[in-house]
Amino acid sequence: MQNKKGIVIGISGASGSILGIEVLRALRDFENIETHLVVTKLATQTILHETKLSMATVHRMADYYHPINSLSATIASGSVDLMGMIVVPCSMKTLAGIASGYSDNLLLRAADVSMKERRKLVIVPRETPFSGIHLRNLSFLHDQGVVILPAMMTFYHQPETIQDMVDYLVGKILSQFDLVYGKYKPWEGKLDL
């Protein structure tokens, strides 16, 4: 346990809850990483709507699951040493909460702590189209050092299934923490033209 490094996974109520779940699943293969999961109320609904998983199953995928209102949880404090946090998917409401520092739930507080402690914070926004307010919040957080990694479709790796697309995005997210995900193959620089 001593050498383990903690990453907080925040799943908010944007579509694409499977992205957060697959990040959690992928991180289980990294022995020195321990995951802290926090799920918003709306994310509980999107998970039940978009996947066939029960919430108990999702909670068990993490090393530690923290209820959204547990503002006294370890991850609410900057004194607990963590590597950083991934908000995936990130709704526009949670984005606004992070951008304004309005930390009225544990996900928002953990993101606030990540920023104040200058830890890596990766946000995976999912909305289309973006409004000016969304873009302003994204731009502001980018300027604060937050990595904005949108849930965008990619085709150059020639995906055949939705899972291929999800795996690719999971790989991109984990690479932000220098973690190499086996199902993700970076572009090799070859084009058969």
Ligand X SMILES: Cc1cc2nc3c(=O)[nH]c(=O)nc-3n(C[C@H](O)[C@H](O)[C@H](O)COP(=O)(O)O)c2cc1C
Q: Return the axis-axis angle of helices 17-27 and 162-175, rounded to nearest 10°.
A: 60
Among the listed ranges 6-14, 69-77, 113-121, 164-172, the one in contact with ligand X (CB under 6 A) is 6-14
Q: Scanning residues 78 to 97, which ones bind ligand X (CB under 6 A)?
A: 91-94
* Shortest spacing between CB 45 and ligand X, in angstroms: 6
Task: Tell whether residue 13 is a contact of ligand X (CB under 6 A).
Answer: yes
Binding of residue 63 to ligand X (CB under 6 A): no
Gap between the Cα atoms of 83 and 7, Å rounded = 6
* Helix 92-100 with 106-116: angle, nearest 10 deg: 50
- Select from 77, 95, 79, 102 the least CA-distant residue to 148: 95
Residue 15 near residue 92, CB atoms below 8 Å: no
Closest contact distance (angstroms) between CB of 123 and ligand X is: 12
Does 49 contact ligand X by CB under 6 A? Answer: yes
25 binds ligand X (CB under 6 A): no
- The reply to whether 44 sits near ligand X by the rule CB under 6 A is no
Closer Cβ to ligand X, 22 or 179, answer by number: 22
